[in-house]
Structure 1
């Protein structure tokens, strides 16, 4: 009985340490963000080769109820449920919805994603991550975007168990936004696909962050795009 209680307590503690990204701005959970498969469990994706690495959708093909209007050049917050409790890099990617589809219907497949935000650790006696314990991440929506619908993908890679292959944990969701007021000159140089952007052995993914403490760190994926 005591063992069962201990196992149950450990499982509960582990679940509490996990998190989701269910909302943007000051909106309700899953109103403009597609319901993620971990909306109840908070569990991560661990296989970078699976389709779940794209938007981690509970029901692929079923969009969120709404599309959020955003002005190019403005700042938007992407919110974590609870807080980002694990160490690791935070990134946001954006993908333009093709003509004839909407942010609520498009699947986001192909080499269509560009990175618009990335944080990196402070190095020294330990690795200090700017997103750890944060409840939201603020991202600037590039002023040079073309007007239209987009998917905005939030991704936090937890590295506390990343010393073995598939040990990194990915916490992901995709928001549906419609951008207006952009100059239309955005021309990303490094488009990636999900899956495809990362491999399980990439140095920013397969890493022991505790010993020996790394003296450098480069997040996986492309560089951040600018206008």
Structure 2
């Protein structure tokens, strides 16, 4: 009999530390117990199997209620130890202080019913300067407040969650608490949730470092399990084709009145001398002019001024390469000289 009584007392003490998501607080006003909140099927008991379907919405079923929240505004989710809440004289309200661990919030399109890889993490509070997310949760009297991303208007499920790690040094003993609420986002937000999210039945492993952990072993850091927090801006939509930011590309033909330069002519002469029958390529604005090169020895000047006339060029050509090259140059396509 004493053994049975001790067991019942121990079980009662364990249950005493649990908690449930019970209401929304919008604009400082509590919207009422279970209004737009899915009541969990297993009371305030924790989930220990991370692959259980209860990891989605704690066994809750959809209600006909919704709370309206403007895109980009804050929303508060109120938790209590017991359901219905009996806050007076309850030392474990909203949760036993021993249940230390992280607090997280996910969101999904309501049309998915939370099933599959549809959840996006929008908030997390792990372990900072010796204080846990659950410590902050207790300080805030069971309220979890998050700023919504600038979401497009529509119906969403929001899923707060916390993990009690007080027994998590044993595999499968971490305690998960979650619940789902139903919100209607209003306004002119433009951010769409990523098309591929997280499946809550596959989000965690029993051996993840943030799930299987001894929090009493001089912990100095903690790895929050699950995906990273979404930045609220990235989407899977392809960006529109730029129309005004691309640098313009000129397609205009070279001016017929442009004065030829010595480097451009030297290039044309080299081409004509090497293959007399080939027509030189037409210069374009995007082609870089080759650097001037030596054209060989001669009795006259071996270089041309930066600008010159065709007569000066022919005279120079006769002096440096001989009359035969000059004749070939005359047969060169006139576009090579940009006259």
TM-score range (shorter-chain normalised) is 0.7 to 0.9
2:91 is equivalent to residue 92 of structure 1: no
**What's the CA shift string for 1:93-146, capped at 9, x where partnerless?**
000134xxxxxxx521121111111002124xxx4213332411111111x211
Check 1:225–1:189 CA distance in 2 against 1; reply closer, same or farther (3 A cut): farther
For the aligned residue pairs, the C-alpha RMSD in angstroms reads 1.8
Distance across 2 between alignment mates of 1:202 and 1:33: 29
Distance across 2 between alignment mates of 1:182 and 1:221: 30
Unaligned runs of 5+ in 1: 99-105
- Tell me if the contact between 1:30 and 1:64 (Cα under 8 Å) persists in the aligned partners: no
- Tell me if the contact between 1:146 and 1:184 (Cα under 8 Å) persists in the aligned partners: yes
Aligned length: 210
- The structure with more strand, counted as a fraction of residues: 1
SS state at 1:17 partner:
coil
Runs of 4+ in 1 over 6 A off after TM superposition: none
| Aligned counterpart in structure 2 of residue 225 of structure 1, from 227, 230, 234 | 230
Larger radius of gyration: 2
Post-superposition offset of 1:185: 2.3
2:13 is equivalent to residue 13 of structure 1: yes
2:141 is equivalent to residue 167 of structure 1: no
Give the TM-score normalised by structure 2: 0.58
SS state at 2:65 partner:
coil
Map 1:85-164 → 2, pairs under 5 A: 85=96, 86-98=99-111, 106-123=112-129, 127-132=130-135, 133=138, 134-142=141-149, 144-164=150-170
Post-superposition offset of 1:190: 6.9
Give the TM-score normalised by structure 1: 0.86
Post-superposition offset of 1:218: 1.5
Post-superposition offset of 1:164: 1.5
Post-superposition offset of 1:29: 2.2
- Tell me if the contact between 1:46 and 1:168 (Cα under 8 Å) persists in the aligned partners: yes
2:63 is equivalent to residue 64 of structure 1: yes
- Tell me if the contact between 1:31 and 1:65 (Cα under 8 Å) persists in the aligned partners: no
Post-superposition offset of 1:32: 0.9
Q: Please identify, of 147-156 and 8-17, the stretch whose mean Cα deviation from structure 2 is larger.
A: 8-17
Structure ranking higher on relative contact order (CA contacts 8 Å, 6+ apart): 1
Check 1:148–1:157 CA distance in 2 against 1; reply closer, same or farther (3 A cut): same
2:183 is equivalent to residue 184 of structure 1: no
Distance across 2 between alignment mates of 1:199 and 1:10: 28
Unaligned runs of 5+ in 2: 82-93, 233-339
Aligned to 1:103: none
- Tell me if the contact between 1:189 and 1:225 (Cα under 8 Å) persists in the aligned partners: no
